[in-house]
């Protein structure tokens, strides 16, 4: 989901009678204080920045990793051009599902699905931290989960997952969070999973060059504007979809504490999509070998500016805003202006990241030459 919007209390979502007056009255019961609103929006901005910053840093080491489980997924220009179309079909399909089928059963199915994904994502996020916490004397045993098809020379690996004791500890902690989310749907559990999804997305989804990033961001710019301003589809799905695909923070936290229920929200798409572009610019900075992070910091500051502008416009006009409308021009425009000023625009657009297949091909060719 790609819009930032205050979310009404749950009672308002369910109280839709024939004339709609109950829903209107339920929504009007709570008016956020300036302090509560500032706390909610400030927290959303901070939560959006964390996965972008740390995900971008981890993407640098991820691109150099030889471990297949940490191998990034490379997005090509063809993938980028298709993505807005696929996203639109998925979004409209979900909208129709919520119109035709019971929202309760759909969300139950989605909860189980995102429980599994969330546990794996949170475990992967925690793994580097656990490596530092555990002492060197910790008995870290190695395990392998292997599932094959066929026999003899035709045997093919379906699942080949290598892990260790530290990974099992991470999975156990993540499972506790997952059960908490399944049973309570608490906003903190939702945010833990959401942050893990966002960080993993920024870390493991790699654009192969800046042009691909411009195609992806440009296409999703149109997608976001159309589905938020042109229809009610995006907002309807975002409110109906009970899954950790958005970060939320209560505007009534100061009044109701952890049981607060009037949320402001930010879709993970507004974090991951600009985030993978910012991570690409960090890897470009590293490739320049100038001990400088100019493009990373300029794009990171551009993201803060764009997100702040989104919140300002949304708060001023009291209407859901397509965040990419403000984020895309900022995240592309700022680094391009910096590159023009430094005379490195051509070099920036020529920067290319090899895909995993291309790298393995190069490695095999170099091995043959050595032999």
**pLDDT tens for each residue of 100-145:** 888 888 888 888 999 999 999 999 999 888 878 887 777 878 888 8
**Residue 180 and residue 258: Cα distance in Å, rounded?**
14
224 is catalytic: yes
On whether the CB atoms of residues 323 and 2 are closer than 8 A, the answer is yes
**pLDDT tens for each residue of 199-234:** 999 999 999 999 999 999 999 999 999 998 888 898
Q: What residue segments make up the domains of the chain, in order of their start?
A: 34-128+166-352
pLDDT confidence of residue 228 = 86
Calculate the CA 359 to chain-centre distance: 26
pLDDT confidence of residue 238 = 80
pLDDT confidence of residue 226 = 93
On whether the CB atoms of residues 62 and 70 are closer than 8 A, the answer is yes
pLDDT confidence of residue 11 = 34
3-state secondary structure of 268: coil
Q: Mean pLDDT, consecutive 10-residue segments, the chain of 371 residues?
A: 43 36 42 88 96 95 67 90 95 90 86 93 90 79 82 77 84 95 92 97 94 95 91 85 89 88 90 96 92 94 96 86 93 96 93 63 49 50
pLDDT confidence of residue 154 = 78
Beta-carbon count within 10 A of 199 CB: 26
pLDDT confidence of residue 241 = 80
Alpha helices in the chain (DSSP H): 10-14, 21-28, 34-64, 77-100, 103-133, 165-184, 187-204, 210-225, 233-240, 253-256, 269-288, 294-317, 324-342, 345-350, 356-370
**Cα–Cα nearest to 302, from 328, 340, 269:** 328
What residues contact 241, with CB distance under 8 A and at least 6 apart? 1, 94, 98, 107, 110
Token pair of 38 as six digits: 């500032």
On whether the CB atoms of residues 125 and 199 are closer than 8 A, the answer is yes
270, 285, 363, 370: the active-site residue: 270
pTM: 0.84
17, 70, 79, 224: the active-site residue: 224
């Amino acid at each position: 989901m790609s819009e930032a919007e205050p979310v009404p209390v749950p009672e308002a979502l369910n109280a839709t009678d024939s004339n709609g007056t109950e829903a209107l009255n339920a929504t009007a019961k709570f008016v956020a204080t300036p302090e509560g609103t500032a706390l909610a929006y400030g927290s959303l901005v901070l939560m959006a920045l964390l996965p972008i910053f740390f995900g971008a840093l981890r993407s640098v080491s991820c691109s150099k990793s030889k471990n297949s489980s940490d191998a990034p997924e490379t997005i090509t220009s063809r993938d980028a051009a298709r993505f807005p179309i696929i996203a639109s079909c998925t979004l409209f399909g979900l909208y129709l599902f919520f119109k035709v089928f019971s929202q309760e059963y759909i969300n139950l199915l989605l909860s189980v699905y995102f429980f599994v994904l969330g546990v794996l994502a949170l475990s992967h996020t925690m793994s580097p931290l656990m490596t530092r916490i555990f002492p060197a004397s910790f008995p870290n045993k190695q395990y392998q989960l292997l599932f094959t098809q066929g026999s003899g020379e035709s045997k093919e690996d379906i699942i080949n997952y290598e892990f260790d004791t530290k990974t099992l500890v991470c999975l156990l902690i993540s499972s506790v969070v997952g059960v908490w989310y399944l049973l309570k749907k608490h906003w903190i559990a939702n945010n833990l999973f959401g942050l893990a999804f966002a960080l993993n997305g920024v870390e493991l989804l790699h654009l192969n060059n800046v042009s691909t990033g411009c195609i992806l961001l440009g296409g999703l710019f149109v997608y976001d504007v159309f589905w938020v301003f042109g229809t009610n589809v995006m907002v309807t799905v975002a409110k109906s979809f009970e899954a950790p695909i958005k970060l939320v923070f209560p505007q009534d936290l100061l009044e109701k504490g952890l049981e607060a229920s009037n949320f402001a929200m930010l879709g993970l798409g507004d974090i991951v999509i600009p985030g993978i572009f910012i991570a690409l610019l960090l890897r470009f900075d590293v490739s320049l070998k100038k001990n400088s992070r100019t493009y990373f910091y300029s794009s990171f500051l551009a993201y803060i500016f764009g997100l702040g502008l989104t919140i300002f416009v949304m708060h001023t006009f009291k209407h859901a805003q397509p965040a990419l409308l403000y984020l895309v021009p900022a995240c592309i425009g700022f680094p391009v202006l910096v590159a023009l000023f430094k005379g490195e625009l051509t070099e920036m657009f020529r920067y290319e990241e090899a895909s995993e297949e291309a790298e393995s091909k190069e490695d095999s060719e170099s091995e043959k030459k050595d032999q």
